[in-house]
Amino acid sequence: MNISTEPYTDYQHHIKLDHEDENVSAMELYERYHDKLPIVVIVTIGHYAEIDIETFGSEQIFRVAKVSRQPRVIARDKEGRYLTLPVNIAIKFRVVKGYKKVGEIQTLKEIVEENNTPIQVQFALDAKHHSFRIGSSDASIYTFGNIVITEVYEEKYFLVNALNSAVLYPTYMLIPVYLKEVSFARVTKVRDGTKQDWKNLLIGLDKAAENFKYDITDGNKEVALLPEECAVVTSDNIYDYIDPKSFVSVAKKSKIPDYGEYVDITVETQEEKSKTKKKASAKPPPLPGRNTTPRKTSTTSLTPPTFSPTTPPYVNQQKSMTSTETGSGGSIRSLTDEGDYVRGYSIREIGDSLEKLHLSKYTKQFRDAHIDGACLLELDAGNLKEDFSMKGFEAKKLMLFAHTGHIPS
């Protein structure tokens, strides 16, 4: 086939790859190859899960670049449930020091660094302005009560880049090592190609990845609820083998004013109340400027990934889908704006677009439903969530593309 050693950038080559017959789990993949990376793998058995980092479609191909070790804590809430939280979580906490006595608001990272386990903490959130969900069920901040942090450990993930027709995506994805529902096989050759073709392809992939950035402490940004059987396990990173039972999401219901007060889960002293009231009176809310409209707030995740010039955006980051500024200083129209960017798209072109938007797991559903560009423009985010089981931000992302052609970058 005469495969080039230079990185491919054109999807039209349609290079096919073949893999070994043996299916392995993510943990088996780690045990065999964690010190032999990079390798190329294919998903042989996919899985649709509660969160994106556990969702994979069959026949997705990845270049496994590195292993990430994310610092997390194990904790128990007042109901005896086991939680695992990322140490760098954006949510703030207070250390419980005694009866009706709590410390100052701190990050979880600060608390873990300054105290020895076990550490009793509580969420430092305003219950009026935050909502909790465990899986698909609503929950209250008060149901967690004081939380006891029992240990710190590292959770392992593969950092992978999607591979499509020999083109390597620069934005990496995460594969949790604990994942049991998804199976993989190692890709070992170019279909109808020679051994040299395969070697050349690997050289090209290595060159393509030379300038890719990886955060080797990245991981799941969510709070995870572990199954009850984890109560009988000990440390030694046994949690790498335990699938979370569900995930806890925390979201703002409305913007918390800087002058407002935090309501603790269990206690608040008279002194703190007095200080807070003084602070509130000292800093009244600003008046709207002339000819301005107050910005409507929406439900947003409290635990977005962190970005820096050296850290690439996490592939499943929920991005704002309205009035997004472009690099040239303009803005993308909101979803309410009229636009028919995809009206002439064929069913196949819609499928290709789903791939570019990292929504390839819906390609088969769209193809089976014969959704072309004109049909897509007749749908809205509600239809996509109801008929195709899309998540809210996925539906908004697709509709923004349908109307404006915007692809997040």
User: In this structure, what are the phi and psi dihedrals at residue 12, rounded to the nearest 5 degrees?
Assistant: -80, -5
DSSP calls for 93-119: EEEEEETTEE---EEHHHHHHHSPSSE
Return the pLDDT at 316: 38
If we measure between CA atoms, which residue out of 28, 30, 54 comes closest to residue 156? 30
Return the pLDDT at 1: 74
Find where tokens 């058995």 sit. Answer: 45
Q: DSSP H helical segments within 105-246, as ranges?
A: 108-114, 195-208
DSSP calls for 275-340: HHHHHHHHSPPPPPPTT--PPPP---BS-PPP-BTTBPPPTT-----SSPBPTTS-BPPPTTS---
Chain mean position to CA 339: 29
Which H or E element spans position 10? none
Query: What value does the CA radius of gyration of the chain take, rounded to a whole number of Å?
Result: 24
Asked if residues 55 and 48 have their Cβ atoms less than 8 Å apart, the reply is yes
Burial of 101 (0-12, 13-18, 19+ CB in 10 A): exposed
User: What is the spatial distance between Cα 261 and Cα 125, in angstroms, rounded to a whole number?
Assistant: 9
Q: Running along the chain, 409 residues long, what does each successive block of 10 average in pLDDT?
A: 87 85 95 97 90 87 97 92 93 90 94 96 78 73 87 95 92 94 96 95 97 95 81 54 75 51 40 42 39 31 32 34 32 41 85 91 88 87 88 89 82
User: What is the spatial distance between Cα 149 and Cα 117, in angstroms, rounded to a whole number?
Assistant: 6
Return the pLDDT at 331: 31
CB atoms within 10 A of CB 308: 8
Return the pLDDT at 69: 97
Question: What are residue 59's DSSP bridge partners?
Answer: none
How many CA atoms does the CB half-sphere of 402 hold within 13 Å?
26
Return the pLDDT at 240: 66
Return the pLDDT at 387: 86
My answer on whether omega of the bond before 285 falls inside 30° of 0, hence cis, is no
The two three-digit tokens of residue 6, written as one number: 């230079």
Return the pLDDT at 33: 97
If we measure between CA atoms, which residue out of 155, 182, 222, 217 comes closest to residue 54? 182
CA distances from 157 to 41, 110, 180, 214, 219 (A): 15, 24, 13, 12, 7
Find where tokens 């472009």 sit. Answer: 326
Asked if residues 265 and 141 have their Cβ atoms less than 8 Å apart, the reply is yes
Domains of the chain listed by start with CATH number: 11-67+156-208 (no CATH), 70-154+221-252 (no CATH), 321-409 (1.10.150.50)
Asked if residues 294 and 257 have their Cβ atoms less than 8 Å apart, the reply is no
User: What is the spatial distance between Cα 399 and Cα 394, in angstroms, rounded to a whole number?
Assistant: 9
Q: What is the pLDDT of residues 70-111, one digit of tens each?
A: 999 999 999 899 999 999 998 999 999 988 899 999 999 999
Return the pLDDT at 239: 65
Q: 284: which residues sit within 8 A by CB, 6+ positions away?
A: 259
